[in-house]
Structure 1
């Protein structure tokens, strides 16, 4: 299965790198392909290293202005002309999506896939790995959106919140049937 992972390219501490590394190792050992932003820095590097070390494939989609920091030894690397094309290519190459900790770029990617699901433009499963409670506030906001009628479909149909790597991957595998 090709799993797109949206996450930070920032260098983060062990409370975030540990669970990301665990998720990466599970991906690789499961024979899955990592589809990611292609960066050779921060949490993106941690996950790519973990997937590769565990025997998984790497498919990166970088963007023109970040191409210099793209991973050189990926199995496949595509350079998009802008961020919109990058997101479209990442999603096109994936069977499922996992969202790990990240900043505004990760949040942008997450909300785009959820908006596509809301409008029936994709049925790909999406899991949000809530490492160290990082997305507790977002979960609360999504629940409020659902309760107050801002979501035309149940929140559970848009995203699955997982508290650990094993649960996150199990949900994706079960949802895709891989």
Structure 2
């Protein structure tokens, strides 16, 4: 499976990196391909290192502007002109989307894939690994949108949340 992962390019505390590393190990051991932002920085670089060490394949999709941060060990590294093209390429190459901890870029990416899914433009699973309750606020907001009629599809059809890396893979199989 080609698993697109949205996550931070910043170096983070071990409470965030340890679950991400475990997820990456499971991804690689499962023979899956990581499709990600292509960076060697922060959590993105850690994820790529762990997937590669566990035998997985790496497909990085980067913005030309950031090519100096490209992961040198990628099996494939694709350069795009801008962020919009990058997001489209990430989604096009994915069989599933997993969201790890991240900042505004990660939030932008996940909301875009949910908007596309809401309109039936893809039906790929979207799973959030909610490490340390990082996405509790997002989950609460989405549940309110669902309860108050702002979503044309049930929330559970758009996105699911997992507490552990193992649960992410259980949900992807379901």
TM-score, shorter chain, exceeding 0.5: yes
* Equivalent-residue separation in structure 2 for 1:40 and 1:122 (angstroms): 29
Which aligned runs of 4 or more in structure 1 are off by greater than 2 angstroms?
Answer: none
Aligned-pair distance for 1:73? Answer: 1.5
**Corresponding residue of 1:69:** 69
**Corresponding residue of 1:114:** 114
* Equivalent-residue separation in structure 1 for 2:39 and 2:170 (angstroms): 26
Q: Which ranges of structure 2 fall in alignment gaps of 5 or more residues?
A: none
* Equivalent-residue separation in structure 2 for 1:170 and 1:56 (angstroms): 18
**Corresponding residue of 1:99:** 99
Aligned-pair distance for 1:59? Answer: 0.2
Aligned-pair distance for 1:6? Answer: 0.3
* Equivalent-residue separation in structure 2 for 1:63 and 1:72 (angstroms): 15
Matched, 1:144 2:136: no
Instruction: Give the alignment of 1:1-178 within 5 angstroms.
Output: 1-172=1-172, 174-175=173-174
Aligned-pair distance for 1:80? Answer: 0.4
SS in 2 for 1:123: coil
SS in 2 for 1:117: helix
Aligned-pair distance for 1:170? Answer: 1.8
SS in 2 for 1:66: helix
SS in 1 for 2:150: coil
Aligned-pair distance for 1:130? Answer: 0.2
TM-score by length of 2: 0.99
Q: CA RMSD in A?
A: 0.6
Aligned-pair distance for 1:72? Answer: 1.3
Deviations 1:38-75 (A, max 9, x none): 00010001110110000000000000111110111100
TM-score by length of 1: 0.97
Q: How many residue pairs end up in the alignment?
A: 174
Deviations 1:151-176 (A, max 9, x none): 1110000001001100002211x14x
* Equivalent-residue separation in structure 2 for 1:122 and 1:85 (angstroms): 17
* Equivalent-residue separation in structure 2 for 1:171 and 1:87 (angstroms): 23
Q: Which ranges of structure 1 fall in alignment gaps of 5 or more residues?
A: none
